[in-house]
């Protein structure tokens, strides 16, 4: 599917309104500081208004700087009816809810109500907080302090959203003890049901005109029916996905199914605690849970390696894995039988029984590779071993038929917006992943002058990307460019191993060369903190992997160089990827050309998009992977990137940075 061969909706009755609103003397210019009309933004808003009016679908790719957020918010707030707005992360959710939507709503004077809805793990649970305060099982002084903060917070907050409590890190383990899961929520039986923050958030969402969710929440409901979306979807007139390029991966995660030994061991701990608390005389609880715990640990030990990812077809039939799995199912069945007898003793024991039955059902479903898949969909069965746990996954081969079914029913508008959905104006890969065949698709170009604002530099004399010393060669090639740019660089790697090696090398090189560039490495602190430090430093070098390839906005002089170590192809040993390639090749298609390459290009476009974020930004995109030049497919890759000037000569790069330096008034960092 290309932009050219799909007709867009006819001109809409709201076109004139949009022209006026986005004009130099329109509502947005008058109310929003720094707003400048952009033709591509206005045209995108018209197309979205038309899709809303006709309750149709639109795939909308907007180049960096188009202003896609305002382009979808204006028609959504004015004519969208009941709108569900789904974005990629909780941070972007908060940004939309706290900043972007209030700004546009004020500018338009639009009388719409807005609600924020997150997954239940984001809201403090009164019941679990009280239980944790009573049983005092915290092991560190730090957690005790955090618990005190949460206890104070719950008395003053109206939402219970942990994002409001910045003094307790989002990653603190204590949150697991004071929030509920689908398995541990008592529902209407809970004494705090009337005060429940999850219920309040869902009620507000049902009553609001615009509901801001994230992709995880949207798709979790399809699998779990536990996010509040089930009540929202039927009444929605308009559904807008921002950062829509993330949907195939997120949907795959939730349309699949996972059961882990960690879940089973956690259940055993809860069964022991609840059994001893409420039915001590009903069973010998340690003897009830011990065989299940042993069977779960034995299942993990059937893989001696620390990290394993393999499909069920790759596990030898003689492997002890299959016998260990049968043993676990039998032992879990026996524990569930005891729980069933004792369920009437306490709600919490009944809840444990429900969890046990659900885990047993998932284990049964996983171990049936010869049977037709549920819903008639093809699934990939695969295992993933970590240091202390084993996960059994069922992943759909394609989400297209499942997602197509979700879109059936009442006609409504569906808008899929992102900066990266097409490969050289061809949307076929994305559309086929999502089941959006023959739907209108359009690209609106960036307003940036990439030809004068940036250079694409591919160094000479690089080894093959699979060479053992490849990361060292990347650093050797990058160092003169980092010196020329005065730091101010992102080094984006495709693996964590490369991140660690690059950090090691750059630390040594900066010290030996006397280069005073602050070095920041993914994992040393949270992403937000690292980015704040990077912006403040003004001459830092930040090394990151996938989480820094997208959703990162550093404008101005602080970021003038983006180095990408390799083309971001998915690892060839990924069992789901291998199964998808095999399925494509059975249809006579080429797995590399039709799946791996377009996926890598869309990912690369995200990484490249970190460089030029504003009309005044200038910089160099350095891609170290010479396959961009030497392979037949390389042309398709670089033609999908912004139209920078291209060079292989480091002297041209140095001259560019020298020119930039002269043009800087006072080298002010923004």
* Domain boundaries along the sequence of the chain: 15-119+200-254+398-444, 255-396, 450-663
Per residue in 212-247, pLDDT (tens digit) is 999 988 887 665 655 556 667 778 899 999 999 999
pLDDT at 492 over 90: yes
Residue among 249, 309, 317, 392 nearest 572 (CA): 309
Q: What's the CATH architecture for 255-396?
A: Orthogonal Bundle (1.10)
Tell me the average pLDDT across 97-104.
94
Predicted TM-score (pTM) of this structure = 0.86
Fold of 450-663: Rossmann fold (3.40.50)
Residues 6 or more apart whose CB falls under 8 angstroms from that of 454 comprise 611, 612, 618, 619, 620, 621, 642, 644, 645
Residues 6 or more apart whose CB falls under 8 angstroms from that of 508 comprise none
Per residue in 253-271, pLDDT (tens digit) is 888 888 999 999 999 999 9
Q: Do the domains 15-119+200-254+398-444 and 450-663 sit in the same CATH topology, yes or no? A: yes
Residue among 429, 397, 387 nearest 61 (CA): 429
206-221 burial, b for 16+ CB within 10 Å, e for fewer?
A: eebbbbbbbbbbbbbb
The 3-state DSSP class for residue 494 equals coil
The model's confidence at residue 656, banded by pLDDT at 50, 70 and 90, is very high
Per residue in 517-560, pLDDT (tens digit) is 999 999 888 788 889 899 999 999 999 998 888 888 888 888 99
Query: Radius of gyration of the chain from Cα atoms?
Result: 27
Per residue in 45-62, pLDDT (tens digit) is 999 999 999 999 999 999
Q: Which residue stretches of 369-486 are H helix?
A: 400-406, 428-434, 450-453, 470-485
Q: What whole-number distance in Å separates Cα of residue 215 and Cα of residue 90?
A: 9
Task: Give domain 15-119+200-254+398-444's CATH superfamily.
Answer: P-loop containing nucleotide triphosphate hydrolases (3.40.50.300)
- Residue whose structure tokens are 């083309």: 567
């Amino acid at each position: 599917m290309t932009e050219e061969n799909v007709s867009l909706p006819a001109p809409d009755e709201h076109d004139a309104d949009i022209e006026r609103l986005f004009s130099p003397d329109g509502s947005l210019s008058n109310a929003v500081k720094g707003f400048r009309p952009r033709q591509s933004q206005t045209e995108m808003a018209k197309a979205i208004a038309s899709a809303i009016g006709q309750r149709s679908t639109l795939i909308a790719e907007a180049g960096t700087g188009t202003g896609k957020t305002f382009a979808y918010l204006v028609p959504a707030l004015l004519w969208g009816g009941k709108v569900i707005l789904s974005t990629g992360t909780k941070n972007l959710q908060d940004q939309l809810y706290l900043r972007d939507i209030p700004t546009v709503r004020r500018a338009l004077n639009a009388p719409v109500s807005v609600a924020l809805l997150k997954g239940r793990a984001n809201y403090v649970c009164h019941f679990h907080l009280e239980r944790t305060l009573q049983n005092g099982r915290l092991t560190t002084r730090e957690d005790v302090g955090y618990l005190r903060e949460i206890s104070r917070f719950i008395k003053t907050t109206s939402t219970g959203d942990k994002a409001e409590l910045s003094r307790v890190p989002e990653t603190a383990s204590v949150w697991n003890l004071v929030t509920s899961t689908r398995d541990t929520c008592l529902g209407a039986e809970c004494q705090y049901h009337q005060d429940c923050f999850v219920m309040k958030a869902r009620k507000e969402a049902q009553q609001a005109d615009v509901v801001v969710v994230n992709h995880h929440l949207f798709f979790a409901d399809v699998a779990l029916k536990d996010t509040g979306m089930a009540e929202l979807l039927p009444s929605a007139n308009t559904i807008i996905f921002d950062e829509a390029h993330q949907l195939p991966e997120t949907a795959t995660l939730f349309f699949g199914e996972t059961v882990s030994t960690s879940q089973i061991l956690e259940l055993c701990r809860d069964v022991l605690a609840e059994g001893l608390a409420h039915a001590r005389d009903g069973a010998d609880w340690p003897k009830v849970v011990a065989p299940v715990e042993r069977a779960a640990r034995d299942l993990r030990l059937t893989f001696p390696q620390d990290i394993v990812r393999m499909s069920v077809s790759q596990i030898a039939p003689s492997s002890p894995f299959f016998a260990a799995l049968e043993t676990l199912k039998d032992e879990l069945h026996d524990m569930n039988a005891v729980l069933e007898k004792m369920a009437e003793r306490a709600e919490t024991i009944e809840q444990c029984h429900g969890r046990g039955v659900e885990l047993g059902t998932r284990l049964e479903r996983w171990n049936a590779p010869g049977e037709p898949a549920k819903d008639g969909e093809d699934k990939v069965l695969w295992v993933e071993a970590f240091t202390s746990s084993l996960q059994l996954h069922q992943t759909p081969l394609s989400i297209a038929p499942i997602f197509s079914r979700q879109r059936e029913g009442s006609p409504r508008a569906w808008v899929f917006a992102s900066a990266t959905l097409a490969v050289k104006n061809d949307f076929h890969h994305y559309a086929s992943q999502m089941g959006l065949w023959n739907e209108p698709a359009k690209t609106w170009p960036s307003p940036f002058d990439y030809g004068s604002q940036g250079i694409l530099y591919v160094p000479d004399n690089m080894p093959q990307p699979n060479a053992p010393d490849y990361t060292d060669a990347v650093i050797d090639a990058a160092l003169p460019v980092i010196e020329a740019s005065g730091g101010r660089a992102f080094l984006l790697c495709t693996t964590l191993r490369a991140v660690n090696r690059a950090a090691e090398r750059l630390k040594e090189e900066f010290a030996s060369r006397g280069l005073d560039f602050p070095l920041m490495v993914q994992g040393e602190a949270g992403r937000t903190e690292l980015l704040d430090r990077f912006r403040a430093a003004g001459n830092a070098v930040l090394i990151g992997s996938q989480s820094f390839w997208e959703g990162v906005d550093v404008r101005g002089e602080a970021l003038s160089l983006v180095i990408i170590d390799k083309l971001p192809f998915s690892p060839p040993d990924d069992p789901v990827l291998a199964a998808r390639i095999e399925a494509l090749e059975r249809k006579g298609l080429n797995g590399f050309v039709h799946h791996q390459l377009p996926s890598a290009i869309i990912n690369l476009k995200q990484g490249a998009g970190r460089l030029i974020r504003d009309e005044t930004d200038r910089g160099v995109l350095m891609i170290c992977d010479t396959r961009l030049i030497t392979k037949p497919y390389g042309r398709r890759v670089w033609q999908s990137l912004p139209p920078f000037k291209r060079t292989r000569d480091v002297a041209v790069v140095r001259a560019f940075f020298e020119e930039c330096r002269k043009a800087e008034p006072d080298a002010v960092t923004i």
